Amino acid sequence: MADQLVWMSTPHMDPAEFRRAGHAVVDWIADYWTTLAQRPVTSADPPGTVAAALPAAPPTAGGEPVEAVLADLESIVLPGLTHWQHPGFFGYFPANASGPSVLGDLVSSGLGVQGMLWATSPACTELETVLMDWLAQLMDLPHRFRSTSTGGGVIQDSASSATLVATLAALHRASGGRWRDTGIDRRYRAYTSVHGHSSIEKAARIAGLGTDGIRPIDVDPDSQALLPGALRAAIEADLAAGDVPAIVVATIGTTSTTAIDPLPEIGAICAEYGIWLHVDAAYAGAAAVCPELRWSHAGLEYADSYCFDPHKWLLTGFDCDAFWVADRTELIDALTVLPEFLRNAASESGAVIDYRDWQVPLGRRFRALKLWFVVRWYGAEGLRAHIRSGVALGDRFAERVRADDRFEVTAAHPFSLVCFRLRADDDTNAALLAAVNATGRVHLTHTRVAGRYTLRLAVGSPQTTEAHIDEAWTLLAETADNLRSP
């Protein structure tokens, strides 16, 4: 009775209304997924359209039913979206959503748990530790990455955060532990290929190295992969100048073309000079759930840290980056700060993991839940089937491109990204991309390979089928015809 009074006298949504409105919202999402393919992939509206359709001031009284919000979602928000789950979405890299992931996230929101310490919610930490060990097992990662060995895994929000955290741990090592107390001096250096992701430069800047602290290493013109000889030369030059090589970030699956840096050679160089090796497999790491694609991870045993994004290609909604270290004490030593108000007996016992020491923020939400729902729903076989379908669809598209001698495939496509171009100048290729995207039936993005404008088609939406790939190809081929005969 007392409880009922509290619910009635406050403007909160009571459990009965939450149940009713929640069902309506789940129905709305299910309808959205069912009708998604009929929508244009991207919005054609000019900037400011969505903002102009929204009231200039917030409501005073409240009490609007969820149905009113859903109606505005339909009429104002949806027309202004890029539909990343659309079967014709082929841009950037995918950002998979899935039913089990959404439900796991919903449970996480409902529980409202904050897992900064083991003590603030033991199950939040322990489920995450086990899930990361499961993933390491699913991908056959080096044993050192397991929590049962010297390392362990943690869920970060993004691959960018993983790279930042790895950079901080690397600085800790390179400075012999002094960096933690004295801050950075400008002599530390980070190395990555010219195709290393922009988040590596951002991490270097945040860590105090500055953009100048990054050494961009040349790539092989055919494979677009980092040249180990050039890496060694850059390290030697820095050492000769009195600088301190701190971290090498190698990539499995670069953003431009999914090139794979040669980890065995890079790892041997890092081992020789005692440099931290971080491996960024943000998109392509998911492929390692398939035994036949694990060749892409050869040499990972050299890595001090490794990450990939289940939120890209492994059916887990944004945000979920899986990050492992081979030696957890180095990471924890680099990042731990212990104010009095967080002291507790469990932490002091040394028997528990406090994930606050493994990331930049203090607080953390219960992200392991969505991963748990996903892994239990799909199982290893279901996850493999998703990756295999993406690779097969990519291959199918590449075959179409190769069969038309007006076009060329411009890079190897070991995963589900295909880079291709018309055998024509950059402007014609840019016009082709703009024209196919303007139809609203597909969305592709571009990059430059060896300086030349190149189109990228990245398969990843769980809804994409052979028919969508064929439709995308037909659209491209017909549009190319029209471009040539105005």
Which residues, numbered 314-353, are part of the site for ligand PLP (CB under 6 A)? Answer: 321
Q: In angstroms, what CA-CA distances link 38 with 33, 70, 96, 348? A: 10, 19, 19, 56
> Which residues fall within 8 angstroms of residue 105, CB to CB, at 6 or more apart?
317, 369, 370
Please choose, out of 78-86, 249-257, 378-386, 387-395, the segment that lies near ligand PLP by the rule CB under 6 A.
Answer: 249-257
Least Å from the CB of residue 191 to ligand PLP: 15
Contact pattern for ligand PLP over residues 366 through 405, marking x by CB under 6 A: ----------------------------------------
359 contacts ligand PLP (rule: CB under 6 A): no
* Closest CB 287 distance from ligand PLP, rounded Å: 13
How is residue 188 written in tokens? 């530390």
Applying the rule CB under 6 A, the residues between 148 and 187 that interact with ligand PLP are 158-160
> What is the C-alpha to C-alpha distance for residues 309 and 320, in angstroms, rounded to an integer?
6
Q: Does 309 bind ligand PLP (CB under 6 A)?
A: yes
Counting residues that bind ligand PLP (by CB under 6 A) gives 14
Q: Quickly list DSSP for 195-258.
A: TS-HHHHHHHHHTT--GGGEEEEPB-TTT--B-HHHHHHHHHHHHHTT-EEEEEEEEBS-TTT-
Residue 226 interacts with ligand PLP (CB under 6 A): yes or no: no
Q: Per CB under 6 A, which region of 250-258, 337-345, 404-412, 456-464 contacts ligand PLP?
A: 250-258
Sole window of 78-86, 230-238, 276-284, 376-384 interacting with ligand PLP (rule: CB under 6 A): 276-284
- CA separation for the pair 281, 271 (Å, rounded): 20
**By the rule CB under 6 A, 280 interacts with ligand PLP:** yes
Query: Can you tell me the distance from the alpha carbon of 358 to that of 337, in angstroms, rounded to the nearest whole number?
Result: 11
Minimal distance, residue 92 CB to ligand PLP, in Å? 6
Task: Output the smallest distance, CB 217 to ligand PLP, in A.
Answer: 15
Instruction: Reduce the DSSP state of residue 138 to 3 states and report it.
Output: helix
CB of 197 to ligand PLP, least distance (A): 3
Q: Is position 197 an interface residue for ligand PLP (rule: CB under 6 A)?
A: yes
DSSP classification of residue 285: G
Q: How many CB atoms lie within 10 A of CB 9?
A: 8
**Residue 339 beta carbon to ligand PLP: minimum distance, rounded to whole angstroms:** 28
Taking the least distance from each CB to ligand PLP, the nearer of 159 and 234 is 159
| C-beta of residue 410 within 8 angstroms of C-beta of residue 421 | yes
| Helix, coil or strand: residue 413 | coil
Binding residue for ligand PLP, selected from 282, 417, 458, 472, defined by CB under 6 A: 282
173-192 as b/e, with b when 16 or more CB fall inside 10 Å? Answer: bbbeeebeeeebeebbbbbb
Query: What's the closest the beta carbon of residue 319 comes to ligand PLP, in angstroms?
Result: 7
Asked whether position 306 contacts ligand PLP by CB under 6 A, the answer is no
Q: Shortest Cβ distance from residue 456 to ligand PLP (Å)?
A: 11
Question: Does 199 interact with ligand PLP (rule: CB under 6 A)?
Answer: yes
* Max intra-chain CA distance, the chain: 77
Pick 159 or 331: Cβ nearer ligand PLP? 159
Structural contact between residues 356 and 344, judged by C-beta atoms closer than 8 angstroms = no
The tokens describing 358, both together, are: 């493994």
Dihedral sign computed on CA atoms, order 343, 349, 353, 359? positive
Mask for 84-123, x = binds ligand PLP (CB under 6 A): ---------x------------------------------
If one asks whether residue 251 binds ligand PLP (CB under 6 A), the answer comes out as: yes
- Return the number of the residue (304 or 354) whose C-beta is nearest ligand PLP: 304
State the amino acid at position 142 in one-letter form.
Answer: P
Does residue number 201 form part of the binding site for ligand PLP (CB under 6 A)?
no
The residue range among 54-62, 70-78, 279-287, 425-433 that interacts with ligand PLP, by the rule CB under 6 A, is 279-287
How far apart are CB 170 and ligand PLP at their closest, in Å?
17
Judged by phi (left if over 0) then psi (alpha if -120 to 50, else beta), residue 208 lies in: left
Looking at the Cβ atoms of 159 and 269, the one nearer to ligand PLP is: 159
β pairing state of 152-156 and 321-325? antiparallel
Exposed, middle or buried by CB within 10 Å (0-12, 13-18, 19+), for 337? Answer: exposed
Residues that bind ligand PLP (CB under 6 A): 93, 158-160, 197, 199, 251, 254-255, 280, 282-283, 309, 321
